[in-house]
A = this chain, B = another copy of it.
């Protein structure tokens, strides 16, 4: 009933050719028209499909790029994976996704697993591995990082231009008239960069930075951290280093009867799928995950065009929705959005500063 799969040998016999000729016909080598025709007919008759495992063994390549990412649930990571698939598709290659749930040990195992499968390259999203451990695990497989969390190593990386995004957010708030702006920060590397950028951008705007509290990037952390921030009566705006913390902040504000944006303006970071559905729709810095994934895939396939500049910065955009407005003290409050009106969006793309 269920016969073994036909091999290239079966095709050769059926077509009256040698396996070498069949292989050439399959891979676009020089083969006479007659032979090619007989072989194609035989393939059709037998239902032959190439065995990529055997092929991989002899060629040493697999047509696979391994992708190690924290999880599949986060929309941002999913978008990055999508971007990677975009460009791999163009090259006739495929992605193999492995999740590490932010555990360095799982990350190491994931890399070794992928290497055992002979992946032709590796895209690591948010990698925390030390450079030495990384090199040990990955051997000579080319690597590209996306938003690497650990210290820089020699592999090329794609990073969001966090500073530009933060600057856009702070400028937006400052322009609206906010003077005391708080910051909900995250603990990972990008959180620290955003925090530093926040302080710098405030200085640029001629403002003292308001209270800065760590919310660990999560809803719960944001909610807890928000409590601290909301105790400061002078704070009229909060810039959050992630949308998830912004949600927590929104909840905390609601619980205290603080109305957004009338009493408090809130800016998030990431523009997750649902940021636009929040109450009110969230003004936030959009992280172009798909583009970042694309860039990383190109990097891993072609290598960095310029070995001297191994970090490629991608520009974010500020998406202005309904969670920001002028502060109350600034005269009559701007008319708050009608309760359920989907906000019109305004997208602000900062000019990209050339990397130093």
Contacts and interface: CB of A to CB of B under 8 A. Distances in A.
A247 interface: yes
Interface in A50-67: 50-54, 56-57, 62
A292 to B, nearest CB: 15
Interface string A71-100: 111010011011001000000001111110
Nearest to A116: B52
Number of copies: 2
Contacts of A57: 51, 53-54, 57
A250 interface: yes
Contacts of A97: 95, 97
Contact of A118 (B53, B279, B341): B53
A56 B62 CA distance: 13
B342 A140 contact: no
A27 interface: no
B254 A49 contact: no
Contacts of A99: 82, 85
A329 interface: no
Nearest to A281: B279
A283 to B, nearest CB: 15
Nearest to A67: B97
B53 A117 contact: yes
A5 interface: yes
Interface in A16-67: 47, 49-54, 56-57, 62
A78 B72 contact: yes
B254 A112 contact: no
19 contacts: A50-B116, A51-B116, A53-B53, A53-B62, A53-B116, A53-B117, A54-B57, A72-B72, A72-B78, A95-B97, A250-B340, A254-B338, A254-B341, A254-B342, A255-B341, A255-B342, A273-B273, A274-B274, A277-B277
